[in-house]
Amino acid sequence: MIALGDDFLMLSSPNGESIPVSPEMVTIELGAGGSELFDDEFLRHASNAVFHYFKHELGRQTVSIGEFTGALEKVLRGFILTDRQPAGRQRPVQLESDLVRLAAETDGGCELFFFTRLREEVRARLKAGSQPRLLRFSGLRGCVKHLSGARRWSLRCREMEERVLEYLRHCLCAEAGEAECGLVVQ
């Protein structure tokens, strides 16, 4: 028997046939309006995460197609944010902010002013009219390099990135209160 590569997993079909697949080989098709909820890149990342879970977290070599699709469905359902507000008062799906812009708005990229400005941005986004179901912050890498004064990614950048992410999580928990709101940082 030929050994299975580290980046392959055996998917077994109901008829007993097993097919070796890599994360790149897994394709997903959604029906019934599912394609409106997720773009192709998001589906690819979700599929890779499920693949990684079975292969590396559980240490499995073979997974049935049913198990794989069930786990992927569970992951995707976790990203569908339900709206519990009465009809007519729908919350916006997502609000976006640019971290690079926020870093540039602070005096000389000073960390102290940046974190204060970041808290104000989270608070303003959550309190503006109706609360969003998702806050999306883009430009994390550029923001971190600006704050660190770095041209290239370094250990200091990595540490700053972790601080920004932790602070965003803390702010969202403190400011959102009882409201359910997701956070995406790119």
Per-residue pLDDT, 31: 46
**Token pair 């786990």 in the structure block, residue:** 71
Spatial neighbors of 76 by CB under 8 A, at least 6 apart, are 34, 37, 38, 46
Q: How many residues does the chain have?
A: 186
pLDDT tens figures, 99-152: 999 998 886 657 888 999 999 988 888 876 566 777 888 888 999 999 988 899
CA–CA distance, 11 with 180 (Å, rounded to integer): 36
Q: What strand order describes the sheet that includes 134-138? A: 94-98, 134-138, 182-185
Query: With bands split at pLDDT 50, 70 and 90, how would you rate the model's confidence at 59?
Result: confident
Q: Average pLDDT over the chain, rounded to whole?
A: 78
Query: Over 80: is that where the pLDDT of 160 sits?
Result: yes
For residue range 3-33, what is the model confidence (pLDDT) as tens digits? Answer: 666 678 888 877 788 888 887 777 665 544 4
Cα distance between residue 57 and residue 63, in whole Å = 13
Strands lying side by side in the sheet with 9-12 = 18-21, 9-12, 62-64
CA dihedral sign, ordered 134, 139, 141, 146:
negative
Name residues whose C-beta falls within 8 Å of residue 43's C-beta, 6 or more positions apart in sequence: 28, 30
Report the candidate in 103, 102, 45 with the shortest Cα–Cα distance to residue 79: 45
